[in-house]
Amino acid sequence: MSRGWQTVLRARSVFGPYEDRIVLAQGRTDVNGPHQGAWVETPSGQSWFLHFQDRGPYGRVVHLQPMTWKGDWPVIGTDDDGDGVGEPIERHRKPQVARASAIAVPQTSDDFAGPSLGLQWQWNANSSPDCGR
């Protein structure tokens, strides 16, 4: 989706009534269609938001945005004009997480020498016990 935004809905009961608000939009940035995201909270209590950007033939690029709360609504990225709708931030400090003992890098190449595909060829959207066999 080349144009888009992230909407949040909230209610005091699962049966509603629901309130909705756009909490992240492209604004003045080059990050078009910020949508389809997930709220992540670190062990230190920081809130972050993962979302996609549509890059046409390049696919969807994943972004990590800082998230704060204002009036019980999330504010994602930066809200310079104070209207409650955040805009993506291009550069930001990393989340505070415990330091890993070793840096792990996903496998990026496959010489196809073995009987099964490498993990980088798996697609987690439709999981199957046969993945990777």
The pLDDT, as a whole number, for residue 17 is 97
C-alpha–C-alpha distance, residues 72 and 68, integer Å = 10
pLDDT tens per residue, range 21-47: 999 998 888 888 777 889 999 888 899
Q: What is the pLDDT of residue 19?
A: 96
pTM reported for the whole predicted model: 0.69
Query: Over the stretch 64-117, which tens digit does the pLDDT of each residue have?
Result: 999 999 889 999 999 999 898 999 998 888 887 777 667 777 777 788 888 888
| Cβ atoms 78, 87 nearer than 8 A | yes
